[in-house]
Amino acid sequence: MEVHDYAACDATELRRLLAAGEVRPAEVREAALRAIEAADGRLNAVVGGPYDEASAAADGPLAGVPFAVKDTLPEAGRPLGFGTRMLDGYVARRDATLAERFRAAGLVCLMRSATPEFAFNIDTAPVAHGPTLNPWNLERGPGGSSGGAAALVASGALPMAHANDGGGSIRIPAAWCGLVGLKPSRGRVPLGPAVGEAVGGFAHEFAVTRSVRDAALLLDAVNGPAPGDRYYLARPATPFSAAIHEDVAPLRVALQTASFFGAETAPEVRAAVEAVARTLEDLGHHVEEACPPVAYEALRACVTVVWSVDLAGLAATFERLTRRPAGPEHVEAASWACIRHGRQLSALDLEDAAFVVNSTARTWGRFLDEYDLFLCPTAPTAAPPSGTPDQDDARFTTASAWIDEVFSRAPFTPIANLTGQPAISLPLGETSDGMPLGVMLTAQTLREDLLLRAAAQLERATPWTHRASLFGP
């Protein structure tokens, strides 16, 4: 299989070719390895591998499809780094449930992809591994924290890759790299067994893909409860891969283009969202401007508490695992500021944050009972220069300073992390200089079926054509 033929396939098409015997698994693996090697030489997106994946199920729905796991998900016997020098040399002792499900689906987990330190940045440029670059423009960042995954998929080196999202870490890289980025409902994809929830319930696991049908197929393969899960969501009666082909009844869609806070929405981003609104109207849906109130100060305080406590907890865990102390010699400046702050917070601070999470979820839950979908930008701008923002910049001496820097650049995505509602970024816009822009849809909790159905309808109505990959003919 030629590399450019491999790179032109999404996962669904690769699986079809494999099932039909038109290509052999060894051919696909070899093409993938050549593509990854070529891409990583330019993008610096891989932090581990290649690995042999003898345990991948030969009869899974994605059997033989190459894949990468983000360096935050434990895979037994493989390095686990979280983008930090604290875990240098550490090897995971057991699999996460999701890692097991990837292999049960037949995915060939060849590589581990780069993440910023503690997966807490909208850029991917950790001191531990250096910057990952955007395949659309090597002077730009790919986003974060799933920047390595997005760079590999956008380059054509992989058809899909694992990602997770605690404030936009699936959706922002998808937007800035021209991909589909689905953040499922809280509890839809298992997090265990080592943790019951991550980042106070903000973080959700899934992937970045090139097509809506790939997102639906992968969600079918990995969703569903595991024993002891804190959130026990039964599998849907209709598979998501079947639901995307069902007719879409006229929907009521709420439209918002202005930023909730922080960076203003760039004119090209606003225009992209408004164009999608017009497409939805042409498809028979009703679109009107509407948005619940967003209490920025309360939201900022909540995120500062929850993320700081999470980083302090991760640092304590990593200290136990490696006997390597958290501190300026082993963690980046902004990370250290958040760790210090997290160590000073009280149970009452967490209780105040939980109140904000609850009130936000109630507000948006009521709103999405009135509207079927919420349409907005994924991010207010296109991808910024690589290294923006710099997590090791010495001027970030407080957690608040770092939180303000990160979330001022990502005003739209964190809401769904607090509420637990599913949201998807679609590559439906482009800047005048050719950089991709993402448009985001959010649905009521557990309505991935509706979200994916609407996304597939938009995909058919406005097919997104990617710039030729690094391996195009």
Structure tokens at 253: 């869609």
70 in active site: yes
Strands ordered across the beta sheet of 436-443: 160-165, 204-209, 180-183, 423-430, 436-443, 373-377, 252-255, 286-289
432 in active site: no
Q: Which of 113, 146, 155, 169 is catalytic?
A: 169
Strands ordered across the beta sheet of 66-70: 46-48, 108-113, 66-70
Structure tokens at 94: 């057991």
Report DSSP state, residue 388. Answer: -
The dihedral built from the CA positions of residue 441, 443, 447 and 450, taken in this order, carries a sign that is negative
Listed residue (193, 184, 163) closest to 97, CA to CA: 193
Are 419 and 364 contacting, i.e. CB atoms less than 8 angstroms apart?
yes
Are 191 and 73 contacting, i.e. CB atoms less than 8 angstroms apart?
no
- Rounded to whole angstroms, the Cα distance separating 114 from 130 reads 9
Structure tokens at 181: 């980025």
Q: What are phi and psi of 298, to 5 degrees?
A: -65, -40
Q: Which of 113, 145, 146, 386 is catalytic?
A: 145
- Rounded to whole angstroms, the Cα distance separating 330 from 324 reads 8
Are 253 and 371 contacting, i.e. CB atoms less than 8 angstroms apart?
yes
The dihedral built from the CA positions of residue 368, 370, 373 and 378, taken in this order, carries a sign that is negative
Q: Which residues are catalytic?
A: 70, 145, 169
